[in-house]
Amino acid sequence: MALMSLLEVQGLTKTFAGLTAVSSVDISVEDREFLGIIGPNGAGKTTLFSLLAGSLPPTEGRVVFDGVDVTGWSAQKVARTGLVRTFQLMRPFESMSVLENVTIASLANRSRKDARRHALGVLERVQLAQYAGTSSGSLPTAGLKRLELARALAMEPRMILLDEVLAGLVPAERAPMIELLRDLHADGLSVMFVEHIMAAVMALSERLVVMHDGRVLTQGVPAEVIAEPQVIEAYLGEDYA
Ligand SMILES: Nc1ncnc2c1ncn2[C@@H]1O[C@H](COP(=O)(O)OP(=O)(O)OP(=O)(O)O)[C@@H](O)[C@H]1O
């Protein structure tokens, strides 16, 4: 039998009332790979993540994670296989503390007492430990981004789908976040990330997929992909080139 990629996506399609947001997408992601996804607004990147992570059921196609066909499974059930997403618009329980929010995510895999201890470890990992007791609603954007990451990590993913984790950060906040993502990847986490900040995309991606109009326009080695005329035309613009 041929060796399988950690994530295999075949013919994935999502139609919303006549609009095809994701159209026949085929993507394979290897264990421990760091894959970047770019494309213009409305290209279907967030919808793709929703389909992969079980937040939305696909209209057609298959999602196979770690050899298991998870197509149409709930987000909770997909997460238990090790595939977990973050959201572009963070939505923690605002009245709860940072620690409580992460503890709830940890409860997916463990008892209440263990979950709290595990959550504290995750907060250390994302450098939010000093805010453990802070109410989540009062965190600044950079803290909310880390909390969103922490909640996903608390579910102990093998592969994480990051939806614009750098958006909204000021330049000085980006470098430490890029460093954190690089460390998580070095520790064995497989990552797929959607990002508009090209410096981050180029610093982290081992391979790049470009989406346009719901389809994969092209994919490959990042430096080669961003030099393709069709990518410049569809997304990057002449300025970037
Ligand atoms: N729940 C929905 N109902 C109807 N249309 C939707 C829904 N979600 C997304 N769409 C449409 O699907 C298309 C793809 O949207 P999507 O949010 O996936 O794009 P994106 O590449 O993530 O864009 P951005 O970079 O702006 O986040 C858009 O035309 C969008 O309006």
Model confidence pLDDT, tens digit, residues 119-133: 999 999 999 999 999
Least confident of 25-29, 81-85, 110-114, 158-162: 110-114
In a domain, 1, yes or no: no
> Do 114 and 205 belong together in one domain?
no
Per the structure, the complete domain to which residue 48 belongs is given by 7-82+157-240
Model confidence pLDDT, tens digit, residues 180-213: 999 999 999 999 999 999 999 999 999 999 999 9
> Do 55 and 114 belong together in one domain?
no
Q: Mean pLDDT over residues 167-174, rounded?
A: 94
Q: Mean pLDDT over residues 6-30, rounded?
A: 97
Tokens (6 digits) for 207: 């391979």
CB atoms within 10 A of CB 124: 13
Residue of minimum CA distance from atom 10 in ligand 1: 21
ipTM surpasses 0.85: yes
Which atom number of ligand 1 is nearest to the Cα of residue 56?
1
Here the contacts of 13-20 (C-beta below 8 Å, separation 24 or greater) are 13/58, 13/59, 13/60, 13/61, 14/44, 14/47, 14/50, 14/51, 14/56, 14/58, 14/59, 14/214, 15/59, 20/214
Q: Mean pLDDT over residues 206-223, rounded?
A: 97
Q: Which of 127, 155, 183 is the last residue of a domain?
A: 155
In a domain, 2, yes or no: no
> Do 150 and 204 belong together in one domain?
no
- Which whole-number Å values give the CA distances from 66 to 31, 33, 61, 199, 214, in the listed order? 9, 14, 17, 31, 25
> Do 33 and 148 belong together in one domain?
no
> Do 78 and 179 belong together in one domain?
yes
Rounded to an integer, what distance in angstroms lies between the CA atom of residue 22 and that of residue 52? 11
**Ligand 1 mean position to 103 CA, how many Å?**
31
Q: Mean pLDDT over residues 4-9, rounded?
A: 96
Model confidence pLDDT, tens digit, residues 59-102: 999 999 999 999 999 999 999 999 999 988 777 778 899 999 99
**Ligand 1 mean position to 121 CA, how many Å?**
35
In a domain, 184, yes or no: yes
Which atom number of ligand 1 is nearest to the Cα of residue 214?
14
pLDDT at 92: 78
> Do 127 and 231 belong together in one domain?
no
pTM of the model as a whole: 0.94
**Ligand 1 mean position to 125 CA, how many Å?**
32
